[in-house]
């Protein structure tokens, strides 16, 4: 993809349905006995992988229209062993959360994926599900996929699980497995992560309570009483992570104003907005009515002189997907920005710390990659260059933002990987830049 510098950036954006909520809504719908209806389901390739998983175990998923599906759930313990290997493609969400959902059924399944997914750590999923008696085994080297799940119709309750890293996906895997337990299941988090699963489970009639063991940014426990979800209807809010690229561009570009409507504003997902405000960006948020406990609204960001910040600690889990964009923003900010405590970026679809370091250096930025983040000094006038996405959708989108700020054309190799989360990304970006 060849990207030209943007003279101005202006307009309104509607982004696809939230990918994280789409995965969870599909899986919970598949566990509910009866018809669940979902509107504004994300059109990402990752979401399609979760639909494929459900169909493989006997759950009927019927497409009614663009973004509209009916899920005819089979209830707890009634999924069937798939006829072959379940292909999770590039979706770590499908593999991790799907393993938890599969564990509560008397079946055997193997979850595999593409070369990128095969490099991602999955032993942590097996470790998180082991206290419930689930038999999950990594068949690749060093705890990598494929992942074999041998499920049971009844799992062990009365347990407390502490995932090795704060992760909403690991937490979700335990909670979905816990629906089939013979007693309450508790997940202990060292730091808060996005709580889409807890909100959804409560909205479908289940007892899922969160207890804070400290302040709002401290440890917490999520206690689930096993049960069967009720079928439900849900209109999924827009994906703030998809909107993030346009919001970041608006903050960094000298002639910009972007309005993103009907996006999710879950407290566990708004870390980028906190970073933008701390950098001096003008951020306006208009709240709207919540759906199934999920806050939503409209976010508007306009041009601003940016200043350097330090990003770390409990803010990192709330902004983990957007940190490559923070690296781009840092190149335009006055001073030295430090991103730390983000080692998890090393084991995403690619090593995102290394990928952004390489890409931004090629564009003339002063950036040092560290073990757990970056040190970036700005402001820098970026130059057009040949850069690579390394097959990572977040890297492709972040480099596209950098390209709009550069003084010449930039070519992004492998840019079609944006389809993993946002197939229409470049069309939307083009409309804003032309506006």
User: What single string gives the DSSP state of each residue in 23-63?
Assistant: HHHHHHHHHSSEEEEEES----HHHHHHHHHHHHTT-EEEE
Q: Is 402 helix (H, G, I), strand (E, B) or coil?
A: helix
Terminal CA-CA length for the chain: 20
> Is the separation of the CB atoms in 242 and 268 below 8 Å?
no
How far apart are alpha carbons 30 and 73 in whole angstroms? 4
Ordered alpha helix ranges (H), 205-347? 240-252, 271-278, 315-319, 323-331
List residues bridging with 425 in a β-sheet: none
For the record, the structure tokens of 24 come out as 């969870």
How much is the CA Rg of the chain, to the nearest whole Å?
A: 21
Distance in angstroms (rounded) separating the CA atoms of residues 434 and 277: 26
69 — phi, psi (to 5°)? -140, 150
> CA-to-CA distance for 162 and 146, rounded, in angstroms?
23
Active-site residue, selected from the candidate residues 112, 321, 351, 392: 321
Give whole-number Cα distances, 276 to 19, 225, 270, 282, 325, in Å. 22, 38, 10, 8, 11
- H or E element at residue 294: strand 294-302
How far is residue 96's CA from residue 372's CA, in Å, rounded to a whole number? 23
CA distance 236 to 242: 14
Contact 54, 41 (CB under 8 A): no
Reply yes or no on whether 321 is catalytic: yes
- The angle at the Cα of 140, spanning 108 to 122, to the nearest 5 degrees, equals 75
| Residues designated catalytic | 321
């Amino acid at each position: 993809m060849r990207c030209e510098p943007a003279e101005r950036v202006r307009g309104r954006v509607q982004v696809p349905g939230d990918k994280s909520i789409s995965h969870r809504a599909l899986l919970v719908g598949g566990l509910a006995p009866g018809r669940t209806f979902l509107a504004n389901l994300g059109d990402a390739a990752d979401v399609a992988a979760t639909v494929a998983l459900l169909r493989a175990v006997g759950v009927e998923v019927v497409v009614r229209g663009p973004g509209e599906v009916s899920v005819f759930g089979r209830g707890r313990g009634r999924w069937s062993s798939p006829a072959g290997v379940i292909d999770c493609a590039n979706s770590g969400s499908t593999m991790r959360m799907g393993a938890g959902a599969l564990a509560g059924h008397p079946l055997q399944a193997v979850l595999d994926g593409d070369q990128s997914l095969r490099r991602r750590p999955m032993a942590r999923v097996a470790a998180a599900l082991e206290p419930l008696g689930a038999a999950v085994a990594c068949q690749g080297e060093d705890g990598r996929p494929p992942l074999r799940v041998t499920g049971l119709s009844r799992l062990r309750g009365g347990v407390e699980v502490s995932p090795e890293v704060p992760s909403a996906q690991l937490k979700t895997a335990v909670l979905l497995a816990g629906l089939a337990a013979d007693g309450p299941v508790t997940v202990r988090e060292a730091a808060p992560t996005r709580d889409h699963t807890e909100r959804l489970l409560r909205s479908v009639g289940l007892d899922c309570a969160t207890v804070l063991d400290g302040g709002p940014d401290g440890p917490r426990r999520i206690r689930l009483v096993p049960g069967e979800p009720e079928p439900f209807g849900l209109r999924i809010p827009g994906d703030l992570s998809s909107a993030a690229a346009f919001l970041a561009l608006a903050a960094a570009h000298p002639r910009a104003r972007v309005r993103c409507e009907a996006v999710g504003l879950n407290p566990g997902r708004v870390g980028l907005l906190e970073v933008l405000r701390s950098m001096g960006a003008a951020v306006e948020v208009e709240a709207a009515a919540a759906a199934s406990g999920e806050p939503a609204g409209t976010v508007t960001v306009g041009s601003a002189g940016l200043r350097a910040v330090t990003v770390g600690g409990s803010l990192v889990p709330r902004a983990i997907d957007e940190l490559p964009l923070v690296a781009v923003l840092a190149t335009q900010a006055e001073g030295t920005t430090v991103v730390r405590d983000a080692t998890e970026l090393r084991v995403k679809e690619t090593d995102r710390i290394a990928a952004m370091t390489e890409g931004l250096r090629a564009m003339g930025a002063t950036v040092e990659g560290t073990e757990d983040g970056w040190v970036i000094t700005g402001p820098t006038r970026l130059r057009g260059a040949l850069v690579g996405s390394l097959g990572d959708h977040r890297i492709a989108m972040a480099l596209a933002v950098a390209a709009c700020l550069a003084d010449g054309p930039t070519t992004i190799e492998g840019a079609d990987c944006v389809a993993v989360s946002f197939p229409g990304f470049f069309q939307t970006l083009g409309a804003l830049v032309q506006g």
